[in-house]
Amino acid sequence: MTFEALGLHPLIQKALADIHYDKPTPVQEKAIPAGIEGKDLLVSSQTGSGKTAAFMLPALHRFASVPFEKSDKKTFNQKRQAARAKGEKVRYEPAHPKMLVLTPTRELAMQIVQSSEDYSAYLKHFRTVAILGGMPYPKQMQLLAKNPEILVATPGRLIDHMHSGKIRFDQLEILVLDEADRMLDMGFIDDIETIIAATPETRQTMLFSATLDGIVGNMARKITRDPELIHIHSVASRHENIDQMIHFVDDLPHKNRLLDHLLHDRSLDQALVFTATKRDADIVADRLAIAGFSAAALHGDMPQGARNRTLTKLRRGQVKILVATDVAARGIDIPNITHVVNYDLPKFPEDYVHRIGRTGRAGRHGLAISLVNHNDNNNVRKIERFTKQSIPVNVIEGFEPKLSFKAAPSKRKPSGWKPGSKRNASPKFSQRGFGKPAAARKDGAGRSRGQGRSGEGRRAAESHR
């Protein structure tokens, strides 16, 4: 299958060839033809499957196939120039986008804008802009004054501009909810319902989510008309090209020493280290930088300019170790990430799948390592039940945990791990029966400090308002 066979506009095909998009992914093969036909779509697909092109390409094809009318923009530009010539204050008229893409995070929104610009490189009259929390208001007003055809936004900041009359959706043709499950997890459901209520009922709606169950499914049925259902891999995809393993740690010093050792792996190109809180992201990144690693933190409390600079350095390879929270890392697509380390286990099994999906992109091989306190066994069991996989336990000479547990040997062994691993000590987690800690525990030696850090607040931390 080729993009030409999907019937895309020739100018879009030319742009895809320039960026070496030669073959559509499975989700693109199914979503693009249906999107071109104008059908509503409900798509369940894993991270890294090519969802952005799946909704952006049929939309661009639709716009490119309609003759472009310049009159509205020309009139508006003339009004601006006349006001400036008279020394009057420029009045910003409401923007009337034809397409709206809602995303949970700023990073994902910027990634979508970049992809849209790549795909529409030969459609010169098209503008795609992002309206995000953390971006200066004057800058946003300048972007909206251009009356862009495509608007990418996080829900909180978009609501602000709607209430102030800066954006109207009476001409909206296409609505996309990208990573809808994540937006609902972050508490955006009221904002999303408000935004949808302001759009025409005649719109085409495309919803992309890791799962279409529960609250996401209920909302999807309300906002779509006779949608086409597309399922490409479940969220619990086995990630066959990613080796997963667990390292048990006794306490925080043990965890930090083991992390340093793992990050010295010669096969490491770039790594993403996940922490439970923003404070821990800063602490771990600072400690790694002092230890000589090229490390940086990424989280929601950072100014947008600092976040953009960090991501730029990561994409250029100037930062090798990115320490981030779940929400901040959403949407990051760096093909050179070879290692993902769960410094803290996530609260939800779905987040584990999204985390490890940051490596092994585009068919490459990846390694996902979880540093687990012995008291965290219930979380690991939840992850194993959700992914329908057992995660092998690995032990490295010189970094053995002092706390003991009963274990049955595992037949599964990670295939890509070299640095001093004791592969024979790889029990299946689901087969392990945890007994009492070793005697060293009784007299205080090796006492675990626990990892009772709570995950960052979804709505409060990343509202993007």
Give the per-residue pLDDT at 386: 83
What are the backbone angles phi and psi of residue 397, rounded to the nearest 5°? -55, 130
Task: Tell me: do 216 and 298 sit in the same domain.
Answer: no
Pick from 185, 207, 232: which residue ends a domain?
232
Model confidence at 233, pLDDT cuts 50, 70, 90, reads low
Task: Tell me: do 209 and 259 sit in the same domain.
Answer: no
pLDDT single digits (tens) 336-386: 899 999 999 988 887 888 888 888 776 678 899 999 998 888 889 989 988
Task: Tell me: do 209 and 93 sit in the same domain.
Answer: yes
Q: Which residue has the tokens 């286990």?
A: 345
Model confidence at 62, pLDDT cuts 50, 70, 90, reads very high
Task: Tell me: do 219 and 355 sit in the same domain.
Answer: no
Task: Tell me: do 167 and 275 sit in the same domain.
Answer: no
Task: Give domain status of residue 3, yes or no.
Answer: no
Task: Tell me: do 189 and 302 sit in the same domain.
Answer: no
Task: Tell me: do 167 and 261 sit in the same domain.
Answer: no
Arithmetic mean of pLDDT, 214-236: 82
Task: Tell me: do 183 and 276 sit in the same domain.
Answer: no
- 435: which 2 tokens? 């007994």
In degrees to the nearest 10, what's the CA dihedral of 272, 276, 278, 280?
A: -80
Closest CA to 143 of 130, 154, 134: 130
- 151: which 2 tokens? 């608007």
The domain total for the chain is 2
Model confidence at 461, pLDDT cuts 50, 70, 90, reads very low
Task: Tell me: do 161 and 269 sit in the same domain.
Answer: no
Task: Tell me: do 268 and 133 sit in the same domain.
Answer: no
Residues 6+ apart with CB under 8 A from 444: none
Give the per-residue pLDDT at 414: 46
What is the SS3 assignment for 155? Answer: helix
Rounded CA-CA distance 58/32 in Å is: 5
Mean pLDDT of the chain: 80
179 pLDDT higher than 60: yes
Q: 144: domain CATH number?
A: 3.40.50.300
Element (H, E) at 177: strand 174-177
- 343: which 2 tokens? 């410094």
Task: Give domain status of residue 2, yes or no.
Answer: no
Closest CA to 276 of 315, 320, 327: 327
Closest CA to 353 of 182, 180, 104: 182
Q: Which residue has the tokens 């073959």?
A: 23
Task: Tell me: do 227 and 249 sit in the same domain.
Answer: no
423 pLDDT higher than 50: no
Q: Is 325 left (phi over 0), alpha (psi -120 to 50) or beta?
A: beta
| Better-predicted residue by pLDDT, 114 or 431 | 114
Q: Which residue has the tokens 């029966």?
A: 433
Q: Calculate the alpha carbon distances from 327 to 19, 37, 242 in Å.
A: 28, 34, 22
What are the backbone angles phi and psi of residue 324, rounded to the nearest 5°? -145, 160
Alpha helices per DSSP H over 166-251:
180-185, 189-197, 214-223
176 pLDDT higher than 90: yes
Model confidence at 73, pLDDT cuts 50, 70, 90, reads very low
Task: Give domain status of residue 5, yes or no.
Answer: no
Rounded CA-CA distance 406/425 in Å is: 11
Q: Are strands 41-45 and 204-209 parallel, antiparallel or unpaired?
A: parallel
Residues 6+ apart with CB under 8 A from 421: 394, 395, 396, 414
Task: Give domain status of residue 237, yes or no.
Answer: no
Arithmetic mean of pLDDT, 72-92: 60
Arithmetic mean of pLDDT, 70-89: 59
pLDDT single digits (tens) 187-203: 888 999 999 999 999 99
209 pLDDT higher than 50: yes
Give the per-residue pLDDT at 244: 93
CB 289 within 8 A of CB 281: no
Task: Tell me: do 42 and 62 sit in the same domain.
Answer: yes
Task: Give domain status of residue 152, yes or no.
Answer: yes
259 pLDDT higher than 60: yes
Give the per-residue pLDDT at 363: 63
Give the per-residue pLDDT at 80: 61
CA 145 to chain CA centroid, nearest Å: 29
Rounded CA-CA distance 307/257 in Å is: 28
In the sheet that holds 270-274, the strands lie side by side as 242-249, 366-373, 337-342, 270-274, 321-324, 295-298
pTM of the shown model:
0.60
Model confidence at 330, pLDDT cuts 50, 70, 90, reads low
- Which residue range(s) make up the domain with 456? 242-461
Beta strands in 292-348 (DSSP E): 295-298, 321-324, 337-342
